[in-house]
Amino acid sequence: MVEFIEQKHDELVQRRREITPFYDEVIRLDRAIEALNLLGIGQPGSNGGKQIVQEHSTVAGLATVTWNVKKGRGRPKGSKNRKVGRPKGSGGRLVQVMGVLEEARTPLSVKDIAMRIGIKPNYLYRVLPQLGREGKVTKHGSLWRA
């Protein structure tokens, strides 16, 4: 029985190694699509009378990227006060947080989760209680578990 469980554990670990590159690629693609959507690329319609300005950025000190950005006056007159952008909790960070917590065998502190993901802990202090209210994670003292 122990050999069977060890064999299944090894199979699960191996399968995770196989699919991790695909997960990482999906995250990169989502970020690229989101960045292009923010720039208005790939969305129907014209530039809405806004001035198009070229902006430059150096990425990780390796290459300079140039893109066109629409510059406008903000919200049109008479528009409602509604939130713009993607809804809360639809990003890849929540998926990463849940992945880290599900992978961990013991509850983790906010600092440990942040180190494993590579982000600052202050974001997690906002996100983890939200996940707790949704029933996805539970808090044990200062530790969190999926």
| 76 assigned to some structural domain | no
Whether 101 is in a domain gets the answer yes
On the 0-12 / 13-18 / 19+ scale of CB atoms within 10 A, 56 is exposed
- Per-residue confidence of the chain (146 residues) as pLDDT tens digits? 889 999 999 999 898 888 888 888 888 888 888 888 777 776 555 455 454 555 555 444 455 555 555 555 555 565 566 666 666 655 677 888 888 888 888 888 999 988 888 888 888 888 888 888 888 888 888 888 88
Tell me: do 64 and 96 sit in the same domain. Answer: no
Tell me which residue range forms the domain holding 20.
1-41+49-70
- 53 and 91 housed in the same domain: no
Same domain, 62 and 37: yes
Q: What's the whole-model pTM score?
A: 0.40
List, in sequence order, the alpha helices (H) in the chain: 2-38, 92-103, 110-117, 121-133
CATH of the domain at 135: 1.10.10.10
Same domain, 97 and 124: yes
Contacts for 108 with CB less than 8 Å, ≥ 6 apart = 100, 101, 116, 143, 144, 145
